[in-house]
Structure 1
């Protein structure tokens, strides 16, 4: 999935690039926390892109998240689903 922000915020991140790392950590933390509350440890990776297709400044994140993970109590696979309403 792709996470982005309103273009009105782009100048703030361009002038303060350290905020990109903070936002990156927040995105990962949100998904891990969501799954952990359901007793599941998921796998994910996140890639930061700072430019769009036309090489314009466009900070966004691409996340690849497993459709489930290991249930922390049973040590078995547990399914989890992230729908648009959960992410918005």
Structure 2
């Protein structure tokens, strides 16, 4: 299975930038849906209301599904990969 990786940079409420990837199956191309996944993640981090649009989140690349992502993608349709300042 191939997955699409959406590179995301959001300015946090404290002004710092959090960087995370939204990884979805390759057939998921609806940007509004992908941005919705990102907004749901931001709520879990206390960052609800921060802008997350095509300016902050854009398609990066396709890759082969990693085994460690498979269960979560099958369960919820996507996975968030935390990169920087996501605590």
* TM-score (norm. length: structure 1): 0.33
Tell me which structure has the larger Cα radius of gyration. 1
Greater per-residue helix proportion: 1
Q: What is the TM-score with the length of structure 2 in the denominator? A: 0.33
